[in-house]
Amino acid sequence: MATEKQPTVIKKYANRRLYHTGTSTYVTLDDLGTMVKAGDDFVVYDAKTGEDITRPVLTQIIFEQENKVGAQNLLPVTFLRQLIRFYGDSMQAMVPSYLEFSMDHLTREQEKIRQQMTEAFGPKAFLALDEQVRANMSFFSETMRMFAPFAPKHGAAEGEKAKEANKGGADPQGDAEIDKLKAQMQDMQAKLSELAKKD
């Protein structure tokens, strides 16, 4: 019977050197980043304690990529600030699964875009890209609207006042937040569409 390929074991020593047990060689964070891009799975253990430190090492790879001179950043400052705000928040438990789902969707759509551009390289490729951008923005908008009702209020006192003033009716603060989000998403979609049209 065929067995599932086990991830490569990487050991990290006290001097911060990373040892690839499969090739019996020392590797760098760039080497591990190349492995990730190639689809090679690995786990990183602390050589002394045996602790699984894969997560912090992957985070360190992202940090190194984001700080490379001249490299295009993937993580906008706004996103990083919003992500930090979720730590300790009541919705923190939902963030990992939401991000995983979003990245999975983006990866699948990315393959469609590549295929379309390969089959119809030229003006048609940019039209396909524009359509895909619109589809992705629509998906993102719908997802954000789904989570909007759970957005935290700006203080308990304000929340109580809103409840008292709007018994039996809609929450004006929530409606305002949704309207603001819609406007931001429409503006972002317009900008992305404009960029996609540029040859």
pLDDT tens digits, 181-195 = 667 666 666 666 665
Is 92 in the same domain as 163?
yes
> Does 155 have pLDDT greater than 50?
no
Domain that holds residue 105: 77-197
Is 127 in the same domain as 53?
no
Q: Domain for residue 3, yes or no?
A: no
Is 49 in the same domain as 94?
no
Q: Domain for residue 2, yes or no?
A: no
- Span 27-70, pLDDT tens digits: 999 999 999 999 999 999 999 999 999 999 999 999 998 888 77
Is 110 in the same domain as 184?
yes
- Cross-sheet strand order for the sheet of 42-46: 25-27, 18-20, 8-12, 42-46
Q: 147 or 100: which carries more pLDDT confidence?
A: 100
Is 54 in the same domain as 94?
no
**pTM beyond 0.85, yes or no:** no
Is 28 in the same domain as 117?
no
CA atoms within 13 A on the CB side of 90: 5
The sign of the torsion formed by the CA atoms of 155, 157, 162, 168 equals positive
Least-confidence region, from 55-59, 82-86, 96-100, 190-194: 190-194
Counting residues of the chain whose pLDDT is more than 90, the rounded percentage is 30
Q: Looking at the 3D structure of the chain, how many domains does it have?
A: 2
Q: Which of 18, 42, 66 is the last residue of a domain?
A: 66
Contact (CB, 8 A) for 40 and 33: no
Least-confidence region, from 71-85, 112-126, 151-165: 151-165
Q: Which of 108, 144, 105, 113 is nearest to 131 (CA)?
A: 113
Is 124 in the same domain as 191?
yes
Is 62 in the same domain as 110?
no
Is 122 in the same domain as 38?
no
Assign residue 42 the CATH number of its domain.
Answer: 3.40.1170
